[in-house]
């Protein structure tokens, strides 16, 4: 069985066990959240041995070059020497400069950062809550356009970080963050390529950033954005998106609601997946962005692939829930 060396200690890794599971079983506390190789909270550095390509998938090149890997998906095939990351270079601090409620469950936080963050709209930051919990939030702001980092956070029942953001966070509060991470963002160079974007709830956050980024870079191809919610009052930024559609002829915004009560003119009623597929038909040659609810993201990924989109043209961010053992409140 492979052994993991951390500092002066050696830990024996069980059959099929990940580095994270092995270290936790031996009482070593490692920060983690999604435990699925998405959020990058569990980053470690390999000092010797190969953690494997899966554990590096999605990490930016500078991190890969320094042998960073995600310990939650690293099942080592050989002995590994590992170290906790030097988070100094990954950590950054910001101060809330604006807090706005966007609907009855979604709050927008805008942060001024101590040092500039080199990011793209649609990537995500790992925000460290006041009790030390780490949660990922997508970047809505567009570098070069906005002077702040913007996040949209959905209040979840019992949510440790979303609850803090919604009820307690106040202008002037400071937060630490790690990142940016993620590859779901607009890349220029093909301004005429049609774009399809779909998501529910705060899945709109990265999509809104990506659309604004594309438009600010002069994208000329059609951009179709579908945003879904259970009911009309759970949608948000409806007026802003309608105004954007009115001023950009290549941008089409389709609000979708599952229940018809309160639906306004122009809203589509029903299952967002059905609505997208019925209205779009084939998407061969399109660039597709899917964000939010993991099940919807998975289903639309499959459906868009079947409808002709290339695998490399389908970019997605599943909002996977935190699965790390809870810290005491
Ligand atoms: C890449 C990525 C990007 C994300 N971007 C955003 C974003 O822009 N805006 C946003 O609001 N959220 C986003 N999330 C989700 C976010 O990271 C947290 O999971 C969410 O805010 C809940 O954290 P919490 O501490 O409030 O809840 P917790 O205290 O962790 O959990 C409270 C309860 O809510 C349930 N729960 C936790 N997370 C979810 C979830 N994602 N979906 C459904 N139920 C859940 C738990 O099972 C538990 O019952 C993103 C997640 C990922 C992985
Ligand atoms: S990537 Fe490992 S905890 Fe999220």
pLDDT tens track for 307-322: 999 999 999 999 999 8
Q: Is 48 helix (H, G, I), strand (E, B) or coil?
A: strand
Q: Assess contact for 253 and 195: CB atoms under 8 A.
A: no
Q: Assess contact for 111 and 96: CB atoms under 8 A.
A: yes
Angstrom distances, CA of residue 30 to CA of 162, 182, 247: 22, 21, 48
Angstrom distances, CA of residue 236 to CA of 45, 58, 101, 102: 40, 30, 10, 6
Enter the pTM of the model.
Answer: 0.94
**Helix (H) or strand (E) run with residue 224 in it:** strand 223-229
Find the ligand nearest to 292 CA. 1
Residue 34 Cβ inside 6 Å of ligand 2? The answer reads yes
Measured from the Cα of 324, ligand 2's closest atom is: 3
> What distance in angstroms lies between residue 24's CA and the mean position of ligand 2's atoms?
14
Just give the CATH number of 195-318: 3.40.50.80
Closest listed residue to residue 40, CA positions, set 272, 325, 320, 327 = 320
Which strands, in side-by-side order, build the sheet including 149-154? Answer: 134-138, 124-128, 174-181, 91-101, 106-113, 149-154
CA atoms of 243 and 251, how far apart (whole Å): 10
Which strands, in side-by-side order, build the sheet including 251-257? Answer: 268-269, 251-257, 223-229, 195-200, 287-292, 314-318
Residue 39 Cβ inside 6 Å of ligand 1? The answer reads yes
88 has a pLDDT exceeding 70: no
> What distance in angstroms lies between residue 82's CA and the mean position of ligand 2's atoms?
16
pLDDT in tens, 169-193: 999 999 999 989 999 999 999 999 9
The 3 state secondary structure assigned to 83-128 is ECCCHHHCEEEEEEEEEEECCCCEEEEEEEECCCCCCCCCCEEEEE
**Helix (H) or strand (E) run with residue 201 in it:** none
324 has a pLDDT exceeding 90: no
CA atoms of 303 and 300, how far apart (whole Å): 5
End-to-end, the C-alpha distance of the chain in Å comes to 37
Find the ligand nearest to 18 CA. 2
pLDDT recorded at residue 85: 77
Mutate to test the pocket of ligand 1, among 156, 160, 229 (most ligand atoms within 8 A of CB): 156
Q: Domain ranges in the chain?
A: 3-85, 90-181, 195-318
Residue 152 Cβ inside 6 Å of ligand 1? The answer reads yes
pLDDT in tens, 27-39: 998 989 999 999 9
Give the pLDDT mean for 58-62: 87
Measured from the Cα of 181, ligand 1's closest atom is: 1
CA atoms of 175 and 19, how far apart (whole Å): 29
Q: Which residue has the tokens 């105004």?
A: 243
pLDDT in tens, 90-132: 789 999 999 999 999 999 999 999 999 999 999 999 999 999 9
Pick the CATH number of 90-181 from 2.40.10.220, 1.10.8.60, 2.40.30.10, 3.40.50.2300: 2.40.30.10
Residue 26 Cβ inside 6 Å of ligand 1? The answer reads no
Measured from the Cα of 73, ligand 2's closest atom is: 2
Give the pLDDT mean for 138-154: 97
What top-level class would CATH report for the domain 3-85? Answer: alpha beta
């Amino acid at each position: 069985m492979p052994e993991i060396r951390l500092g002066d200690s050696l830990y024996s890794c069980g059959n099929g066990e990940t580095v994270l599971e092995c270290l936790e079983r031996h009482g070593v506390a490692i920060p983690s959240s999604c435990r699925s190789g998405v959020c990058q909270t569990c980053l470690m550095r390999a000092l010797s041995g190969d953690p494997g390509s899966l554990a590096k998938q999605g990490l930016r090149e500078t991190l890969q070059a320094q042998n960073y890997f995600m310990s939650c998906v690293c099942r080592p095939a050989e002995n590994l020497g590992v170290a906790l990351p030097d988070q100094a270079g990954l950590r950054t601090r910001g101060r809330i400069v604006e807090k706005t409620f966007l609907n009855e469950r979604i709050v927008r936080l805008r942060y001024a950062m101590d040092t500039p963050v080199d990011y793209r709209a649609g990537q995500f930051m790992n925000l460290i809550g006041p009790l030390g919990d780490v949660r990922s939030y997508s970047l809505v702001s567009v570098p070069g356009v906005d002077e702040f980092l913007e996040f949209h956070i959905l209040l979840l029942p019992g949510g440790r970080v979303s609850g803090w953001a919604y009820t307690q966070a106040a202008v002037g509060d400071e937060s630490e963050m790690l990142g940016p991470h993620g590859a779901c963002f607009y890349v220029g160079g093909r301004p005429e390529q049609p774009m399809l974007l779909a998501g529910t709830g705060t899945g709109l956050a990265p999509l809104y950033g990506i659309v604004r980024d594309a438009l600010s870079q002069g994208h000329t191809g059609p951009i179709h954005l579908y945003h879904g919610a259970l009911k009309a009052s759970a949608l948000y930024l409806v007026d802003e998106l309608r105004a954007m559609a009115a001023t950009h002829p290549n941008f089409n915004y389709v609000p979708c609601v599952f229940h018809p009560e309160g639906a306004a003119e122009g809203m589509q009623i029903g299952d967002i997946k059905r609505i997208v597929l019925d209205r779009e038909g084939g998407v061969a040659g399109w660039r597709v962005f899917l964000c939010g609810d993991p099940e919807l993201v998975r289903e639309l990924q499959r459906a868009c692939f079947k409808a002709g989109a290339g695998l490399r043209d389908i970019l997605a961010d599943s909002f996977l829930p935190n699965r790390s053992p809870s810290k005491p409140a």
